[in-house]
Amino acid sequence: MTKKCITKLCYLFLLLFILKVNSQNLDSIFISKKNIVKSIKTDEKKVQFLYDCGEFFYSKNVNKSEYFYREALALTEGTNSLMEGRVLFKLGFVEKNEGNLSTSLRYFNKAKEIFKDKNDIERLASVYFDIGYVYRLKIRWT
């Protein structure tokens, strides 16, 4: 083996090691955040913490992020609160990125109604944009 080949193998091994350690760290953070939720007394604070956890994991591990968003939705569903709209909006993103465009649209449309009811113009504009983007993807993929 040449020196160049050995160097490449060392870099590959180092990269795999770093990815493995990072994955283990995310798992331990995930478990600790799940345990913290149990100690929070009020639903309002639980929902905010779950939402923040979803945000934390969104760029690192979408499955873990989705778990926290779904837990938050379970506590807010049917309340027509702004937080319910925010959670629905994030779940719309998760579903869109997983390729579940129809499900994504359902979440976005529910969020749209809440943002409209709450007169949250900025989030309403964002959700309209994302609804349009999903329809554009649907047309492209059919």
Stated pTM of the model = 0.79
Identity at 134, one-letter amino acid code: V
Which residue, among 99, 92, 94, has the nearest Cα to 129 in the 3D structure?
92
Is residue 10 over pLDDT 50?
no
Q: List alpha helices for 40-100, DSSP H.
A: 43-58, 62-76, 82-97
Q: What is the DSSP letter of 51?
A: H
Q: What is the DSSP letter of 41?
A: -
Question: What value does the mean pLDDT of the chain take?
Answer: 84
Give the pLDDT score at 16. Answer: 39
Is residue 11 over pLDDT 50?
no
Stronger pLDDT, 70 or 1, i.e. the higher one: 70
Instruction: State mean pLDDT over 63-71.
Output: 93
Distance CA 91, CA 70 (A): 8
Give the pLDDT score at 4. Answer: 63
Is residue 18 over pLDDT 80?
no
